[in-house]
Amino acid sequence: MKLAVYDIEGKKTSVEVDLNKKVFGIEPDYNLIHQAVKVYLANQRQGTAKVKSRSELGFSNKKMFRQKGTGGARRGDRSSPLMVGGGKTFGPEPRDYTMKMNKKQKSLARRSAYSDKALNENLFLIDDFLFDTPKTSKMVNVLSSMGVIGKKILVLVDTYSYMDDDAKYTNSVNIIKSVCNIKNTNVKPADSVSAYEIMNADCLVIQKNALKTIDRVNA
């Protein structure tokens, strides 16, 4: 499975790169992708919603009105749920929304998400061009020439190859800073992306060296 590489002008070159079939060429498991998306979204929830019940309010326990003859509903003290500002009945309490998914399932969900993008031709590969300084306009020009501006884009940058090279590390940081201010465009290191983030994007733009990171993480 081959994918053409785009240059710094955003134009397709004659260079083609072989994609790992185990990552980009499997039959997508959409049930597992759905499960991974549910787990991701559930784990983003804080679960801190809270209201006070009548027992938690500091009002007096004195009965405010006589039982009958007022023409209104029977009610007790100031903290009654029938009173404005009283305690809430069956209100939300703090809870943990955390869901779990094992590593093999997460990996298969990611590979299924990558394969879905490849299957629908929503996968683009950009060359490892250098950014001396962060330049948003330069990245906008590249994405415009590729014809993806206006879509929800996820840019994946290299992670592992710069471990022993300060210049490559600086370049990756500059690419991240160049992308993060573009509308509807997100950027992630290739080793920390989730199945939800892949599926939430209309197309993936992957830095050429990031393929090594993707293969290493999802092997």
69 assigned to some structural domain: no
pLDDT at 160: 62
76 assigned to some structural domain: no
pLDDT at 50: 95
Q: Is the pLDDT of residue 28 over 60?
A: yes
Most confident option among 32-36, 74-78, 181-185, 187-191? 32-36
Q: Is the pLDDT of residue 75 over 90?
A: no
82 assigned to some structural domain: no
Distances (CA, A) of 133 to 26, 136, 137: 38, 10, 12
pLDDT at 181: 87
The token pair at 116 is 């879905």
Q: For residue 134, name the pLDDT band (cuts at 50, 70, 90).
A: confident
| Residue predicted with more confidence, 116 or 173 | 116
pLDDT at 162: 56
The residue whose two tokens read 């029938």 is 82
205 assigned to some structural domain: yes
How many domains does the chain divide into?
Answer: 1
What is the mean pLDDT of the segment spanning 144-149?
90
70 assigned to some structural domain: no
Amino acid at 47: G
**By residue range, what is the domain housing residue 159?**
2-30+101-218
Q: Is the pLDDT of residue 205 over 90?
A: yes
Q: For residue 42, name the pLDDT band (cuts at 50, 70, 90).
A: very high
Rounded CA-CA distance 107/175 in Å is 26
Rounded to the nearest integer, the mean pLDDT of the chain is 90
**Confidence (pTM):** 0.83
The residue whose two tokens read 């600086």 is 170
Give the CATH number for residue 199: 3.40.1370.10
The token pair at 173 is 């940081």
73 assigned to some structural domain: no
Strand partners for 2: 18
Q: For residue 133, name the pLDDT band (cuts at 50, 70, 90).
A: confident
Amino acid at 153: I
37 assigned to some structural domain: no
178 assigned to some structural domain: yes
pLDDT at 83: 87
Backbone angles phi, psi at 127, to 5 degrees: -70, 165
Q: Is the pLDDT of residue 39 over 90?
A: yes
Q: What is the pLDDT of residues 87-127, one digit of tens each?
A: 999 999 999 999 999 999 999 999 999 999 999 999 999 98
Instruction: Please check whether residue 201 is in contact with residue 186, taking contact to mean a CB–CB distance below 8 angstroms.
Output: yes
Rounded CA-CA distance 189/206 in Å is 10
Distances (CA, A) of 202 to 69, 78, 118: 66, 54, 12
